[in-house]
Structure 1
Amino acid sequence: MSDKKSFDTFIFDLDGTILDTLPDLVVVTNEALREQGFPERTHDEVLSFVGNGLVALMYQAVPENTPKDIADQAVACWKRFNLEYDNHLTAPYPHVPETLAELRRRGCKLGVLSNKFDGGVHKIIAQCLPGLFDVEHGECEEIPRKPNPAGLLRTIEELGSTPERTAYLGDSPNDILVAHRAGACGIGVSWGYHTAQEMRDAGSDIMLESFSDLLEYAPEV
């Protein structure tokens, strides 16, 4: 432990990092597309669209040259379906709940910062990982989409911490970029929606093969 970095603040991306939400993202995306009269997208297509927020996802999911106002209607449909949908296919990745509980036991500050829209973040955390985070943020007017560091810096401040004491975990290159822009440690995960090699190439300071490995970088008690 002595030769490893240690942090008392951990902030997490959501989709592809702590929760495997992709199966439900496919369902909700295709429901929104069907309502607009558009063809459905495959699992792999939706996978290629995630990571930059809901608007980016749906703008790619609708057919090419779709007028913006129609694409925006699809975004609104997605939000409505998501809030009504029970997300029964979403689940935490292995070792996530117990590792988060142990981090809390050790006195660590825990937060979530996602490019998912803010209402969706609060809903899915309340369903899948209730009571484990001190601060939760999704994209909204006050929280710009990553890799803008403003949202991460605000989350760190709300946790009463500093970038130097903070590690941000994610499964996309933008997650590592936002961590570095904020002055925090960027931890890449190998199980998410981007490959481990992509995460290494993005400059991850640390790579995790299992979520439970995160305990090696937390204070011992």
Structure 2
Amino acid sequence: MKKAILFDLDGTLLNTLTDLTNAINYMLSHFNFGTMTEEGVRRLLGNGARQLVELAIGEEVSKADFETYYNFYDAYYQAHSEEATAPYEGIPEVLEAFKKRGYRLAVISNKQDAAVKQLIKRQFPGLFEFALGVTEDGIKKPDPRMVEKVLKAMDLKPNEVYLVGDSEADIETGKSAKLEVVACLWGFRDMKDLAPLKPEFIVGKPYDLLKVI
């Protein structure tokens, strides 16, 4: 019997694309790289902030320069992470419905841990029991150890949990951790990206989650 649902954050619960794009372009412009469209940034998301910066730069740079670029991006994003960010339409109501059904809710994200906890506290007060982002050990999805951290903290077994996410990393994480996966199409990937990975369910709108879970 399922007891809990682990949600990805960016592209699943929150539409963070505009704020992420603005932060990336602020960094790229400052260091005289070419800027990107939102669609271009969308295709790079899902594997954490450091990879996002690396892919956005798009060329080989020294480790020292990369750290400069990344820290510049990160500082800007932390200060501007909620200017345009908001839950996708229907998400708050869906979460409330799951809570009423007795599900325990958690967030597992490749965003920095501090940012995850800040966004969850402000955007979804009282809805989530646990939230985890990337910490100093660098473990991130699709590494199943990230799920193991959450399950241990919540005293759950894999067969008691769904994972809901919008990216290849989410599906791969769920499969490697032996969770049932629900892939969603309102985020940063399309059907052609997710269907070949064969998640247990694919849903098109937030309210569809209530039909499959």
Superposition TM-score, scaled by structure 1 size: 0.90
Q: 58-67 or 103-112: which moved more? A: 58-67
* 1:196 aligned onto 2:191: yes
Count of matched residue pairs: 213
Alignment match, 1:187: 182
Structure 1 alignment gaps of length 5 or more: 1-5
Q: Quick one: percent identity of the two aligned structures?
A: 29
Any idea what SS the aligned residue of 2:198 has?
coil
Any idea what SS the aligned residue of 1:49 has?
coil
Q: Distance in 2 between matches of 1:208 and 1:45?
A: 23
Letter in 2 for 1:172: S
CA contact (8 A) 1:7 1:217 kept: no
- Selected match of 1:54 from 41, 49, 53: 49
Structure 1 residue 172: deviation in Å? 0.8
Alignment match, 2:12: 17
Alignment match, 1:75: 70
Any idea what SS the aligned residue of 2:65 has?
helix
Alignment match, 1:153: 148
Any idea what SS the aligned residue of 2:175 has?
helix
Alignment match, 1:3: none
Change (3 A) 1:141 1:86: closer
CA contact (8 A) 2:19 2:81 kept: no
Alignment match, 1:87: 82
RMSD value, Cα = 1.6
Alignment match, 1:109: 104
Any idea what SS the aligned residue of 1:100 has?
helix
Which contiguous aligned blocks of 4+ residues in structure 1 show a shift greater than 6 angstroms? none
Letter in 2 for 1:167: Y
Structure 1 residue 85: deviation in Å? 1.2
CA contact (8 A) 1:111 1:159 kept: no
Q: 209-218 or 127-136: which moved more? A: 209-218
Q: Distance in 2 between matches of 1:58 and 1:13?
A: 20
Q: Distance in 2 between matches of 1:199 and 1:101?
A: 27
Q: Distance in 2 between matches of 1:175 and 1:17?
A: 10
Superposition TM-score, scaled by structure 2 size: 0.93
Structure 1 residue 142: deviation in Å? 4.2
Alignment match, 1:45: 40
CA contact (8 A) 1:29 1:58 kept: yes
Residues 59-88 of structure 1: per-residue CA shift (max 9 Å, x gap): 111141222221221111122112211522
Residues 131-155 of structure 1: per-residue CA shift (max 9 Å, x gap): 2111101111246111100111211
Alignment match, 1:216: 211
Letter in 2 for 1:200: A
Q: Distance in 2 between matches of 1:207 and 1:61?
A: 29
Structure 2 alignment gaps of length 5 or more: none
* 1:121 aligned onto 2:102: no
Letter in 1 for 2:55: Q
Q: 107-116 or 151-160: which moved more? A: 151-160
Structure 1 residue 217: deviation in Å? 4.4
Change (3 A) 1:34 1:127: farther
